Amino acid sequence: MQIVEMSGNKTPAPIDVSIVVPLHNERDNVWPLYAELAEVIGSGSNRYEVVFVDDGSKDGTVGALVEAVEHDPRCTVIELTRNFGQTAALAAGFEVARGRVIVPMDGDLQNDPHDIPKLVAKLDEAPGYDVVSGWRKSRQDKLVSRRIPSMLANWLIRKVTGVKIQDLGCSLKAYRREVIEGVTLYGEMHRFLPIITRWGGARITDQVVNHRPRVHGRTKYDLRRTIKVLLDLVTVKFLGGYLTKPIYFFGKAGLLSMSAAALALGVAVLQKFGVLTSDPVNLNRNVLVMLSAMLVLMTIMFIMLGVVSELLVRIYHESQGRRIYRVRHVYRASADCASVEPGVMGATGRPAEAAHPVGTR
């Protein structure tokens, strides 16, 4: 394979589906994975490409990848300089992917490539979806260290975000290209990508997928990953609910702090007159007075943080020309009919079918 320069050209027309596979120290899985993917992308009417991303492997994974796909023009291999993490690897793959549908998946053979056509097909099921998330209903992992923490984390995420996805931890998903364009991933936020797209109005659903036990290599997930997920959930909740109105977030915290200050001071006053205690307690000796003063200072700090955050949000949006909304369709009136971009509205009120099996909306 020749070395080519990474390009920002992402014209989606030639490719229907881009499969993005990050790998880290998965040398023994490369050939079986490629064999299964080659079988999938060689069947059906969709035009596929596969983007492999080597995330700083130390076991010769990149060499095995280059050897495996040496004569397959449908495949691209990206080699990162070091281990940046799964989120960064996916972001690198998304940057070069050209498909109208993008399907990320793990490279450990636990995701089944034969589920990919099923996920892609579900995008076009009524009423039409933008994201189809894989659901490992019969998960083949250890109960205590993997499955139970994952179930608890998914339950908490559903409660906090209101997005009813059963298995956010499943890497196998299908995204319409337009819902993830412009989304910048940081830290370990790739698992929250369906939630981020939901904020932009994406239609999301689940699809049960096959999950297989790991055969080669070692898992990169442990209980520490669950802690990271919970910390990222705090960021996601803030960005989703208060990104354009941070004063509400800090204002609520300030009101709670002020209420606690008033309660503490009220109890101290009652103690001063012996209402709650057998003997009166002097205010200058009551720790509740100091607590009340501290909470008042915290209230002022929360309000000031809210004001500063409001200014930063306005600078962020206005300096970069970012919109606080996303447009699904743009209608223009013509002489005899209304059109929608892209595609033309049919008699049913939905865009007419595209020329290829995977359409855009």
Pair 107, 32 in one domain:
yes
More reliable by pLDDT, 30 or 333: 30
Interatomic CA distance for residues 54 and 22, integer angstroms: 6
Task: Please indicate, yes or no, if residue 3 is contained in any of the structural domains.
Answer: no
Pair 308, 337 in one domain:
no
Q: What is the tens place of the pLDDT at every residue in 2-17?
A: 666 665 555 544 799 9
Pair 163, 26 in one domain:
yes
Pair 212, 351 in one domain:
no
Task: Please indicate, yes or no, if residue 10 is contained in any of the structural domains.
Answer: no
Pair 338, 315 in one domain:
no
Q: What is the tens place of the pLDDT at every residue in 124-162?
A: 998 899 999 998 888 877 776 677 877 888 788 888 888
Residue 217 banded pLDDT, cuts 50, 70, 90: low
Class of residue 144 by CB neighbours under 10 A (exposed 0-12, middle 13-18, buried 19+): exposed
Pair 291, 359 in one domain:
no
Cβ atoms 171, 111 nearer than 8 A? yes
pLDDT at 224 over 60: yes
Pair 250, 211 in one domain:
no
Would the pTM of this model clear 0.75, i.e. be above it?
no
Q: What is the mean pLDDT of residues 325-333?
A: 50
Q: What is the tens place of the pLDDT at every residue in 195-205?
A: 888 888 899 99
The residue among 195, 215, 240 that closes a domain is: 240
Residue 92: how many other CB atoms lie within 10 Å: 21
Q: What is the mean pLDDT of residues 103-121?
A: 93
- Domain ranges, residue 337: 329-361
Q: β-strands 75-79, 173-176: how paired?
A: unpaired
The number of distinct structural domains making up the chain is 3
Strand order in the sheet with 75-79: 75-79, 48-54, 17-23, 101-104, 173-176, 131-135, 204-208
With a pLDDT cut of 90, the percent of the chain lying above it is: 30
Element (H, E) at 156: helix 148-161
Pair 196, 275 in one domain:
no
Task: Please indicate, yes or no, if residue 350 is contained in any of the structural domains.
Answer: yes
Pair 31, 85 in one domain:
yes
Pair 286, 217 in one domain:
no
Task: Please indicate, yes or no, if residue 9 is contained in any of the structural domains.
Answer: no
Helix axes 223-242, 246-272, angle to 10 degrees: 100
Tokens coding 102: 């993008």
Interatomic CA distance for residues 297 and 306, integer angstroms: 14
